[in-house]
Structure 1
Amino acid sequence: MAGLLVAGATSDAGKSVVTTGLCRAFARRGVRVAPYKAQNMSNNSMVCQGPDGRPAEIGRAQWVQALAARVRPEPAMNPVLLKPGGERRSHVVLLGHPAGEVSARDFATGRRHLAEAAHGAYDDLAARHDVVVAEGAGSPAEINLRASDYVNMGLARHAALPTFVVGDIDRGGVFAALYGTVGLLDAADQALIAGFVVNRFRGDGDLLRPGLADLERLTGRRVFGVLPWAPGLWLDSEDSLDLAGRRSARDGARRVVVVRLPRISNATDVDALGLEPDLDVVFASDPRDVADADLLVLPGTRATLADLAWLRARGLDRAVVEHARRGKPLLGICGGFQLLGRRVSDPHGVEGAAGSDVEGLGLLAARTEFAEAKTLRLPRGTALGVRASGYEIHHGRVTTGGSDPDFLGGVRAGNVFGTLWHGAFEGDALRSAFLAETLGLAPSGVSFAAARERRIELIADLVERHLDVDALLALARVGAPPGLPVLAPGGGA
């Protein structure tokens, strides 16, 4: 079984991008490659089809990486998905389906069953593919968590995976981060660390080379390459920590404001709007930023009731209602749709206190009641006279009445639209029809699928040009070289 672990010196070092690029680079060589991440913590997820034919939920990043690998996404590629539901608790999705909750206190002791399932999923993928490119999470040098780790070196030890560490030089301190990551590991873990990749470099390569040579000399491990800073590079986001929006280069672009809910989920729903040349897409959490919106979007949320209270505490509820009363278009997606309804209730305590029943914003004739069973669907239909498709992930059961006909699993009342379908606006025909209906825009001809494919190809081209892909493929097939030196903290090789 051949495989490779892409670890990171820090969170957001670029592991997802490197993994995506390697998946496509290996696929270009005719290698049957699969992506894998033992555990994601993210509210950006996707529905795929499980081996039993049922819809299943995985992290969005692994779904995109499967596209890069040119294979069908499946639950084994992200066997454990943790969806934060509060400050210290997360909902668990295990092999694509709900599996209770886990708390921060359970981190060290209550996850053995998750580790067993994750490692079993890796073994299954490895048995069916030539190479598995596994992405770590955070840093492998979180020594306080090493005993219960099954995502980084715990996985590497399970499958004897050769590992390289990605460091983000744009943060500063990359040499200390790379050296220190290896030096903090025990000898058995260090034996699997074969080298490094430096990411997001911008500057004079001649000034960097002496540092790379010293890093190789001090660690006895090679640097497999340096990826340059690429400002236009972006993929479907794994998390919602960096919601920067997308700005148009054209004068007179229409302003799309996405309310930045505290527990926002599936923020990737607006990525396709960000590609439209006549739209500025921005995220906002202040009522004043909503006032000049041409189109206002309430995105999905992992905690509808809590985010409804947050809207009211900030006065955003009044800003949203006023926007609609002025006849401007308003779109609610999944949890955002539920916020627009008349009532939201939680009789079973799915989101919080059992028996909660509060008024919504009252802009759509809809009522939401949370149920313990989660709905996962890959629906298809028509809306605004065109074919449409998407995916559903929700606990809320929405009943409607008194509004215009069904709109993507939801309802429409004038210029207020509510849908339960994520990803629908990635469909070019539906997006064009919606923007023509709401903003009077002519079709732009932009293809979201083609844009995503170009981004994957760009990442793969950068990886091919700047990393030693053949050496990394050989590393995956042969394993870490024997006799790698053990670093003593504070010393050398």
Structure 2
Amino acid sequence: MSGGLLVAGTTSDAGKSVVTAGICRWLSRKGVSVAPFKAQNMSLNSFVTREGAEIGRAQAMQAQAARVEPSALMNPVLLKPGGEKSSQVVLMGKPVGEMSARGYHGGRQQALLDTVVGCLQELRGTYDAVICEGAGSPAEINLRRTDIVNMGIARAARFPVVVVGDIDRGGVFASFFGTTALLSAADQELVAGYLVNKFRGDVSLLEPGLDMLHGLTGRRTYGVLPFQHGLGIDEEDGLRVSLRGAVRESVVAPPVGDDVLRVAVCAVPLMSNFTDVDALAAEPGVVVRFVDRAEELADADLVVVPGTRGTVRALAWLRERGLADALARRAAEGRPVLGICGGFQVLGEHIEDEVESRAGSVAGLGLLPVRVRFDREKTLARPVGEALGERVEGYEIHHGVAEVVGGEAFLDGCRVGEVWGTHWHGSLESDAFRRRFLTEVARAAGRRFVPAPDTSFAALREDQLDLLGDLIEEHADTDALLGLIENGTPTGLPFIAPGAPS
């Protein structure tokens, strides 16, 4: 096999990441050497590869689905929002500066297109197949001339395109038709057909509509994927994540001990890598919820202050909402608090920031003996160490440099009483360490909670990826998808007017 495919979507969150990962896992099962690719990703959830490059966590997850090591080639452009109108641009895994949306789309696209096409060509020379994920919708006609992630990369690579639509939102037939009709004739030539996602009910009731869609567009539907609960894959995110009331509950098994353990995660602005708490939610008897009010911390056994792309902004937000005072009361009472990356920084005594917020000197919450200075160089690392007598692996993504001036050492951060802080993302995925940490939390909280002795976060993640592969294998026309990947888009597909100018 040799070839590729672009998975586009009628909208953001249509299911492109899930479908891309599912196709990667399905092909890997067949013995195909496959790699994921997303030319440009906008996300605050990122990962550090072994060579020290920062890429989107969704592409790292897709690489795991493909059973290959993630690399910067798989996500050459990453945009990390830092405000309403600007983002940090990460090129080939390294930050190259802040840029407004207008500035980003205003003149660098040809150079970026050359870079992403070069990355794609290198992947095609290494793997049997490359499964590309688009971004947003290919029918964003206002951005088509500067597009490097949807039809721009499909045209450059001559890849067939399958458009995914979320039927759970409604209007999927109009979305499929409208998405295709808004494309230029040259772009429409590459659109092979459609994939329905998140369907609930009897597929036979949907089939007349699929037949009518085929009659209207000349393009077939390559599968109807059922709505699947419990897909705990790493997510992309937008500029703001609104998680009030969102709860991630362990569904693996009932608690081992007599009590559950309640974890409250402060939903700070520009929250990054909130996937850090997924390993906690995977533990039987641990309930994780995201909160934004001080009273929601009252019954929490552990409060997590997560990473953020806006440390000073998050600090102000905590103070405005009374969460800062609530955290101080918890620390004084000996009730557990964990700060990760930006959350670790806000727990310190002092922040000097002329880089991220340019706010200068700012007083921290003073819960940890730490002084933070923001450096223009970003720390990107994959540290390995020990804490609580157990081996720990993690990854670091931060501009803030922490000077620890007291307390007990903890994962290159520190601990004072029951307040813990570290720059290490992903540390809770180390099973033995997570169990020891939760045992400490339960002791301090006075809970009769016992961590399950055999929970493997890596195994649970593999189960999730296998579930994605099952969705493709059982509900998509895999023979037809193989034909697309190997042979490209069928010729002679009709043009649907009105098309947008190319």
TM-score normalised according to structure 1 size: 0.96
**Per-residue deviation at 1:393?**
0.6
Taking only aligned residues, the RMSD between alpha carbons, in angstroms, comes to 1.3
Is the contact made by 2:301 and 2:441 (CA closer than 8 Å) also made in structure 1? no
Is the contact made by 2:383 and 2:393 (CA closer than 8 Å) also made in structure 1? yes
> What is the CA deviation profile of residues 103-131 of structure 1, one whole-angstrom value per residue up to 9, with x for unaligned ones?
11124323323222112111111111111
**Per-residue deviation at 1:192?**
0.1
Q: Name structure 2 gaps, 5 residues minimum.
A: 444-448
CA–CA distance in 2 between the matches of 1:171 and 1:234? 20
Identify which of 401, 408, 421 aligns with 2:405.
Answer: 401
CA–CA distance in 2 between the matches of 1:125 and 1:6? 17
Code of the aligned partner of 1:71? V
Is the contact made by 1:25 and 1:469 (CA closer than 8 Å) also made in structure 2? no
> Is the counterpart of residue 483 in structure 1 residue 492 in structure 2?
yes
The aligned residue for residue 263 of structure 1 is 270
Residue 214 of structure 1 aligns to a residue in which SS? helix
Identify which of 216, 219, 223 aligns with 1:218.
Answer: 216
CA–CA distance in 1 between the matches of 2:277 and 2:61? 16
> Is the counterpart of residue 19 in structure 1 residue 20 in structure 2?
yes
Is the contact made by 1:26 and 1:473 (CA closer than 8 Å) also made in structure 2? no
The aligned residue for residue 195 of structure 1 is 193
Moved more, 204-213 or 449-458: 204-213
> Is the counterpart of residue 207 in structure 1 residue 205 in structure 2?
yes
CA–CA distance in 2 between the matches of 1:367 and 1:200? 47
> Is the counterpart of residue 106 in structure 1 residue 85 in structure 2?
no
Residue 161 of structure 1 aligns to a residue in which SS? coil
> What is the CA deviation profile of residues 78-125 of structure 1, one whole-angstrom value per residue up to 9, with x for unaligned ones?
000000011111001111111112211124323323222112111111
CA–CA distance in 2 between the matches of 1:270 and 1:292? 18
Distance 1:277 1:24, change over 3 A: same
CA–CA distance in 1 between the matches of 2:242 and 2:45? 13
> What is the CA deviation profile of residues 27-76 of structure 1, one whole-angstrom value per residue up to 9, with x for unaligned ones?
111111000000110010001023xxxx1111001001111111111100
Code of the aligned partner of 1:418? G
Moved more, 469-478 or 364-373: 469-478
Q: Within 5 A, what are the aligned runs for 1:37-436?
A: 37-50=38-51, 55-112=52-109, 113-239=111-237, 241=241, 243=243, 244-248=246-250, 250=254, 252-346=259-353, 349-353=354-358, 356-404=360-408, 406-436=409-439
CA–CA distance in 1 between the matches of 2:155 and 2:242? 32
CA–CA distance in 1 between the matches of 2:114 and 2:330? 50
CA–CA distance in 2 between the matches of 1:134 and 1:169? 22
CA–CA distance in 1 between the matches of 2:309 and 2:112? 22
> What is the CA deviation profile of residues 249-275 of structure 1, one whole-angstrom value per residue up to 9, with x for unaligned ones?
658422100000011000000000011
Is the contact made by 2:284 and 2:451 (CA closer than 8 Å) also made in structure 1? no
Residue 142 of structure 2 aligns to a residue in which SS? coil
**Per-residue deviation at 1:193?**
0.1
Residue 288 of structure 1 aligns to a residue in which SS? helix
The total of aligned residue pairs comes to 482
CA–CA distance in 1 between the matches of 2:473 and 2:270? 37
Give structure 1 regions of 4+ aligned residues with deviation exceeding 6 angstroms.
none
Is the contact made by 1:224 and 1:467 (CA closer than 8 Å) also made in structure 2? yes
The aligned residue for residue 451 of structure 2 is 443
Code of the aligned partner of 1:68? A
The aligned residue for residue 11 of structure 2 is 10
Moved more, 106-115 or 85-94: 106-115
CA–CA distance in 2 between the matches of 1:328 and 1:237? 30
Q: Name structure 1 gaps, 5 residues minimum.
A: none
Moved more, 442-451 or 157-166: 442-451
Identity within the alignment, %: 57
CA–CA distance in 1 between the matches of 2:333 and 2:47? 34
Residue 31 of structure 2 aligns to a residue in which SS? coil
CA–CA distance in 2 between the matches of 1:469 and 1:95? 33
CA–CA distance in 1 between the matches of 2:352 and 2:309? 15
Moved more, 119-128 or 362-371: 119-128
Moved more, 435-444 or 478-487: 435-444
Moved more, 187-196 or 433-442: 433-442
CA–CA distance in 1 between the matches of 2:250 and 2:235? 20
Code of the aligned partner of 1:47? V
Is the contact made by 1:291 and 1:323 (CA closer than 8 Å) also made in structure 2? no
Distance 1:242 1:310, change over 3 A: closer
Code of the aligned partner of 2:180? V
> What is the CA deviation profile of residues 404-433 of structure 1, one whole-angstrom value per residue up to 9, with x for unaligned ones?
1x2111000010000110000001011001
Is the contact made by 1:22 and 1:469 (CA closer than 8 Å) also made in structure 2? no
**Per-residue deviation at 1:242?**
6.3
CA–CA distance in 1 between the matches of 2:16 and 2:70? 19
TM-score normalised according to structure 2 size: 0.94
